[in-house]
A and B are shown apart, each in its own frame.
Chain A
């Protein structure tokens, strides 16, 4: 049915589109990006409301860090640092306003190592790397430990965006000075002598840096999400293998004789596998964990690699049977194979080691090496180029869904 085909085609196209654009588009919107020599910048100021309702204005600078609380793969909560341009009104963040080195604690206020008083504004608390979710207990910390002043669970109530001043033209000319306002998702890129420019925070720019300031295309910011989407979608098919195998062995179960036992063995094995998988996550030195390890290393390991190792025997007999000089081509192939094989093993040196140093190009390992490095690598490169063009062709056909036939979702 044609509408299905269209529908699938559109989805396929959209899925590919992101990754293509991510590659071919620059990180900031082309037309609307200002480029020039950095002169000065006025800092962004973020207005926060602490959980207890205090209002704090934070001037963004090197020691300020905004972080959002997210879950990590083990389900624990974890702070994820954010760029200033990603801060938006209304979201809840942990904000580090400044850091200092602990000197002493006198009269209810912290003193840094230089003896200066660290004045805490309402809502600010002092934390250390390992104090976790609670403010530090002054009596427990040794002088010299690095501490950070933070506002946790702060709600962003307002952002007053700063600006960057760029010079684009002769130094004397006033018209050449351009003040570019910062804002949500305005990225600042510093150009490098080689390679693509890297994104920096405005306050990291030095006078004389070549900057490009413009609105992001969002594409690069979401690369990790895209990767996540891709792997999740792929992994969601995990049941497929199990199901199709189940169906096959289910049929076997209904048969009589050997097949039935094979099928039963299969299902038992699946159960074993699942148990082993579950126990894998118990801590070591528990009985469950050692059971899982035993299954993995004592059963899965040996059986798996043994099945692979059968190939060596097949290879031996096959090459004995097959590698007959039927044609000149086969002959040439065989000769090369023999040289490479001998070159790989110590026998290569035994056979030709007696040839003196001055002729060491004739040592079998060297001949083999030459074959691999020069003609062979040219052959491989030829194949690679073919594959590259093939790959481009295929990618286009799949992406634009030009493929016909029952196979690729096309014409049913």
Chain B
């Protein structure tokens, strides 16, 4: 630890930083424009989420908990699209629901509308949007006991009693699975107040940074499946045999990972060469 770093070191570090930034920009721009799609073989956590969704009884509702906003759209967006595509194919009814990130339900609805057109699904019959509800944990607890009392109307102001998809949906027993798609630490609420109490199945789609933290829950069977960030979404698209955003972006992802790995190797070579010279 030197008291004052010499200026030469400073400029060299700065030059290295700028080079790294430039290389990253070029890599991502080039791969996105070139647009080759790549497929990714599904890993066990992805497959178990797929199987868990397949196994949900047809009459039960699936809750898509949209706990993300534009900040983490890069990962959560493709995850949401993959899950919704699967639900439209299996014919499960689902409800979009927000309780952490206020813009979440709107962003998910935009994805759902695009896909609904493709699969000729109708809003209100095949899917609904509960919108954003406040009250966090207390509300989640209440929701398990009485869904109509908490939701009352959908995001567009229609009373849920008028929506065919919500017919017969009363409490946690009518929910086949909760799929938490999130950019922050929201999982524990569903585990503590739904899974831990009523045994509701939870599917989990976190961003990359939270993936290792999710495995203790997977191991304890508190969650039924897991999408590992964007890679998980690409794997899911592979299971569904489609090429969505995730598959295209995985190429850019591959390229930038290679860049970082090369950087680490270069850094080590430089370190050992400098080390030798000093020795």
- Asked if A pairs with B, the answer is no
- Using a CB–CB cutoff of 8 Å, the interface residues on chain A facing chain B are none
- Using a CB–CB cutoff of 8 Å, the interface residues on chain B facing chain A are none
